[in-house]
């Protein structure tokens, strides 16, 4: 069966429309519509002139909250008198270490030890690592100066030059067989 196109007509069974069906609709009445926004031309007239010209606005009570210059207290007056003077907040003191404790802490630092090992091996350090290492080494030297500690790597020179002469001499005959035997 072929498709039948739809239409809007009612067909044979639909009720008939009367000839004057438009008269049954409600016609709009001539009542004043509620206005939206300002009247035309209100932009050019100052608000004060509009208020003075209309008598209906004068009769309306103005809102007392608008335009008040009196300061408003945010806290009840009695509550301020009850509280005492406010003490400033004190920052907790950071526990300061003595020079020797700080030096021990720096010497035990694993990051410092690792960076020193890498630098001794000839590995290139990044700028940030190098800067950090220099700061720590400088602080260690300052602490050692404060404590009067000298570097352990500095070797004290012998008191007399005779000891050096003994090592520098080519004369190995001074060692007897007895001394060599006792050393073994």
Per-residue pLDDT tens digits for 119-145:
889 888 899 999 999 999 999 998 888
For residue 99, which of 132, 137, 148 has the smallest C-alpha distance?
Answer: 148
Q: φ, ψ for residue 161 (rounded to 5)?
A: -80, -10
Q: What's the number of domains the chain is made of?
A: 1
> Going by C-beta distance under 8 Å and a sequence separation of 6 or more, which residues neighbour residue 31?
none
In a domain, 45, yes or no: no
Rank 3-17, 58-72, 74-88 by mean pLDDT and report only the highest: 3-17
Instruction: Place 109 in a pLDDT band, splitting at 50, 70 and 90.
Output: very high
Answer yes or no: is pLDDT of 157 > 70. no
Is 119 among the domain residues?
yes
CB atoms inside a 10 Å sphere around CB 1: 3
Average pLDDT, the chain: 75
Rounded CA-CA distance 87/40 in Å is 61
Q: What is the mean pLDDT of residues 51-56?
A: 55
Does residue 107 lie within any of the structural domains?
yes
Domain extent, residue 127, equals: 99-147
> Is the full-model pTM beyond 0.85?
no
Instruction: Output DSSP code: residue 131.
Output: H
């Amino acid at each position: 069966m072929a498709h039948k196109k739809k239409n809007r007509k009612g067909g044979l069974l639909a009720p008939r429309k009367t000839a004057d069906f438009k008269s049954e609709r409600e016609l709009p009445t001539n009542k004043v519509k509620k206005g939206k926004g300002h009247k035309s031309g209100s932009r050019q007239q100052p608000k004060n002139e509009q208020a003075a010209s209309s008598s209906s606005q004068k009769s309306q009570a103005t809102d007392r909250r608008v335009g008040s210059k009196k300061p408003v207290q945010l806290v009840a007056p009695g509550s301020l008198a009850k509280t005492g003077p406010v003490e400033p907040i004190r920052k907790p003191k950071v526990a300061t270490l003595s020079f020797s404790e700080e030096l021990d802490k720096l010497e035990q630092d694993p990051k410092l030890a690792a960076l020193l090992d890498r630098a001794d091996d000839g590995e290139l350090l990044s700028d940030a690592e190098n800067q950090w290492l220099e700061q720590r080494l400088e602080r260690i030297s300052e602490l050692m100066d404060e404590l009067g500690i000298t570097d352990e790597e500095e070797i004290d020179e012998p008191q007399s030059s005779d000891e050096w002469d003994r090592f520098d001499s080519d004369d190995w005959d001074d060692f007897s067989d007895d001394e060599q035997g006792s050393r073994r």
